[in-house]
Amino acid sequence: MDNTLTILILALGFVLLFIFLAREIKKLKGESESEKVLMEWLKSMKGTLELELSEQRRTLMEQNKMLGDRLDNAARVVGDVQKELGKVSEFSKGMRDLQDALLAPKSRGNVGEQILEDLLSQILPKSSYEMQYMFRGGDKVDAVVKTDKGLIPIDSKFPMENFRQMISSETEEERSSVKKVFVRDVKKHVDDISKKYILPSEGTIDYALMYIPSESVYYETAVNNPELENYARDRKIFFVSPNTFYYYLQVILMGLQQKELAENARKIWGALGTLKKETEKFGGELTVLDGHLNRARGSMDGVLSRYSSFLGKIDSLKFEEKEDKLLE
């Protein structure tokens, strides 16, 4: 009887041990298969993401190369513009060096005319201007510029003496008194230019230029005394300084060589406009690329989140099975 009971107990123990081992083996096999499927899926997702990122990097490199080429072209255009600006700067420096000499009353006439002629010769073709042009009535203007619309008279004999006295005045009262005389002299000179040189019947256009050979004098005349500029403008006389006259002649030169220079100007602005459009387009493409990268990053975050959730569920199953075991 005792032997039979012992055998039954041992048999029951072996059965329980077999059941336990079978459950553990089944559980381990299930975990291994799940992890294997999960790893295969993760490898597939990783490959897909790497392929998409590689394609986006290639697109970005191509766009960078295209932008670099366009920037190189724009840099060449800007370089040409800077060369022209350098010429203007050199000219302005030379004019400033002569300003003090031009303030001397004895040199005002001849030196002013000489600078005017030098400036005209540097910018315009010889056939496009004439110095000491004489009208039929015997009056001579310092220079005329020949255009399709007529002759542009240019006077360079600006009344400087009272200006010198005005800036050297020691008191405000003295300055105010001399300024009135200076304004009166300028107005008289404006009237003389208007009467003598604006002669449409002899081929001039309906306005003339008063060349002021100093930036400081021009500023005092045209900017600090707007009444003078208005007075001159009413009589079709325009004040020009060395700098403004330079740009004015450039405009005239553009008119004389309209086809070539206008084409160059259009090319410059066209290149800059194209560069702007391409830059905006590239910015849009970068935005799209950024969206793709963000979506890819979001997908990876989602994968990692699901992976963490899946592992959590596996751990939860393990915990439940252990609880079942303990309960048994």
Q: What are the extents of the domains in the chain?
A: 30-80+277-327, 98-256
Tell me what pLDDT residue 255 has. Answer: 73
The gap between the terminal CA atoms of the chain, to the nearest Å, is: 29
Report if pTM > 0.75: no
Confidence at residue 1, expressed as pLDDT on a 0 to 100 scale: 47
pLDDT value of position 83: 74
pLDDT averages per 10-residue partition of the chain, 328 residues: 53 57 56 56 61 74 79 74 67 53 50 83 91 93 92 90 81 85 92 95 94 85 87 93 88 72 69 73 71 69 68 62 51
> Whose CA is closest to 131, among 150, 155, 147?
155
Say what the pLDDT of residue 16 is.
63
Q: 142, 197 in Cβ contact below 8 A? A: no
Calpha distance 28→48 (Å, rounded):
30
Residue 320 pLDDT: 53
Contact 63, 280 (CB under 8 A): no
C-alpha pair distances (Å), 202 with each of 11, 98, 113, 271: 138, 34, 23, 44
Count Cβ atoms below 10 Å from residue 316 Cβ, excluding itself: 10
Which of 216-223's residues contact partners 24+ apart within 8 Å by CB, and which partners?
216/99, 217/103, 217/158, 217/160, 217/163, 217/241, 218/244, 220/163, 220/166, 220/167, 221/163, 221/186
24-32 LR contacts (CB < 8 Å, sep 24+): 27/321, 31/314
Integer Cα distance of 267 and 2 in angstroms:
114
d(CA 32, CA 35): 5
The DSSP bridge pattern shows strands 140-147 and 150-155 to be antiparallel
Which amino acid, residue 182? F
- Which CA distances in Å does 148 have to 94, 205, 260? 31, 10, 17
